[in-house]
Chains A and B, each alone.
Chain A
């Protein structure tokens, strides 16, 4: 915080600046926190490392955003806490990995176009499998326990065990190596002529993950803010009864959101599988922690908050992982606790908690 204070303090007289700074902190807490974290990190490492870590952090944030967005909407819209979300991530990873292994001849070609013939089916298959399971899961497991948080937690934990065990049944209990398509391996070199950061090697896959994450964030924002379905979703988050009174079948709407959220989680899992290049059935459990931190950080039910939360989690993971690798997980949870102390509702709350 001190670094930020000083930076602004030099530019303009203190009285008005402090007030404006406080207003900025209160009105745009997500941007404030993001800038603060990036500034503090910049002070603690050299700029080349910082650029590298920031890009990697954004890539991780983009993938975590894909996984978390479904869960935050499910909670915001229907007040359903789905702790089996991690199992959908694992399932997507395994589904995507099997397609990649199956199409490994296409995946190992150096041409991007031929690679795409393996990547798109892999992501698509992960999307479809996780989405279908989401449909079945909502009907069978979650539908009977609407409105009862305790039972939701119990039932979804049980459902998560069942899904993970079924993954063991289908794919076996061992870790599976995932071939990363040839065109996505390797790195771009930034031109040497650039000041300070010239010659930094950026991994291609991370850049693509950032682009894809931003694209999906943009698409979701467009759907939520500009389309009729989006209006209904936002209205449903705000007041469920009111939407029902207008004659919309909110159950159906919710089912759609749930399926879409599960499908996105599956796709995020498949991307994570290509990123890590090795997967286990319990990877979902570990990612689930990041997902939970993200949705608490962002404020339950908010897509924008979820995006910024994911970026924050990705960045702090990479920064702290570089400075002191052993504390990365602790820092992530510490960030959550800190934000909860400061703003109990999260950064951008949508629903009144």
Chain B
């Protein structure tokens, strides 16, 4: 059963399995484990970006295609829904029209990009997509009649997915894990801490939207897992390892590459749709920015290229750091003299500096990211065990 669901691609490391289960449980029960608006929106973002990063990994990690146009497809999805609800009202019909239009546009554009990349060398693809994504960004910013320009659009999604809709009248109990842990340490009494950690959740349409996002995210992840472990995925990896040889074996590498680009573009579009519905506001900054593209790249590489589990781990780690590293750095420089070099370097606005440094170092020393490193350690430990087992009888 588990073998079927995971397509035979297990985490292959005990630490990684534990990490994945923790992330999965936190996301599945998230709204009932972490109180507060900030935590809730962050959980939603993690679910959305797992789709984005996992689909990016299909290109970057499995096929070694570097694309800088992934945010463009993400933005097409987000703007598709935003524009269509703007024009046709806030029903489900409008949402589906938006999805249809966005997916169509994405397929068309990615096909064109793919065909363009066939004519030129692989490295050109990175440059061409960078330029095309920039042109798209500038187009969206300029066509303010349609897209709202820099100000963006508010997404008026269906009422059933908004805060005004309440499926149940009664409240659902929640249990704040963080308050509980903090309470145990500060008060010493587990019972009292348990009491304090309880809170109540009033379920509304936003929770519904969150669970739609969560389920989609899980399904997309399992679909991608199935895909990379299928014969199709094998060919992609063959192209990554040695394109010439894959060609010699009779595979039309151009076809496989384009297919990978299209699949990943469509999934990014789906993620964009979910983002627009859950965030209820789209603008160029939060969907199309070049910085966002770099963040996606960072998440993918830090988690581990070529391992879909890396997308999950990388997304969770990066978004947590983005949200809470700033708080931490703020605490760090609280006592430092304002204006001193240390305060400038470690200030909360400089979190990206440290992440950039971490990124460069991880490319050098852990090229396969967190997941790759965990698997490597697990494999070494297994090897040692096998060695011990095989050497023991010889000694006796």
Contacts and interface: CB of A to CB of B under 8 A. Distances in A.
Interface of A: 81, 141, 144-145, 149-151, 153-155, 157-159, 161-162, 165-166, 168-169, 173, 285-286, 288-289, 292-293, 295-296, 326-330, 332-334, 336-337, 340-341, 344-345, 353
A337 B138 contact: no
B128 interface: yes
A333 B132 contact: yes
Given A329-B139, A336-B128, 18 more contacts: A141-B360, A149-B66, A150-B64, A155-B363, A157-B297, A158-B363, A159-B356, A161-B294, A165-B350, A165-B356, A169-B353, A289-B131, A296-B128, A326-B139, A326-B142, A332-B131, A333-B131, A340-B119
Contact of B131 (A149, A166, A285, A293): A293
B336 to A, nearest CB: 14
B27 to A, nearest CB: 28
Which of A81, A150, A333 is packed against the most chain B CB atoms within 10 Å? A150
A26 to B, nearest CB: 18
Contacts of A329: 134-135, 138-139
A317 to B, nearest CB: 12
A259 to B, nearest CB: 20
Contacts of B294: 157, 161
A187 B112 CA distance: 45
Contact of A340 (B128, B344, B355): B128
Contacts, number: 109
Contacts of B134: 286, 289, 329, 333
A288 B290 CA distance: 12
Interface string B336-378: 0000000011000110110111011001100100000000000
Contacts of A173: 349
A161 B298 CA distance: 11
Contact of A161 (B119, B139, B142, B356): B356
Given A169-B344, A330-B138, A154 B301 contact: yes
7 contacts: A145-B364, A157-B294, A157-B297, A159-B360, A161-B353, A169-B345, A327-B142
A327 to B, nearest CB: 8
Secondary structure class of chain A's binding surface, majority of residues: helix
Nearest to A345: B120
Given A157-B294, A157-B297, A168-B350, A162 B356 contact: yes
A344 B357 CA distance: 36
A337 B116 CA distance: 8
A135 to B, nearest CB: 17
A168 B349 contact: yes
A109 B139 CA distance: 42
Given A162-B356, A168-B349, A332 B363 contact: no
Contacts of B367: 151
A153 B66 contact: yes
Contacts of A165: 350, 352-353, 356
A285 B349 contact: no
A296 B117 CA distance: 13
A145 to B, nearest CB: 8
B108 interface: no
A141 B364 CA distance: 9
Contacts of A144: 364
Contact of A341 (B119, B135, B298, B360): B119
B135 A162 contact: no
B119 A158 contact: no
Interface string B57-86: 000100010100000000000000000000
A94 to B, nearest CB: 15
A188 B221 CA distance: 63
Contacts of B123: 81, 149
B126 interface: yes
A14 B293 CA distance: 52
A105 B331 CA distance: 42
B386 interface: no
A113 to B, nearest CB: 39
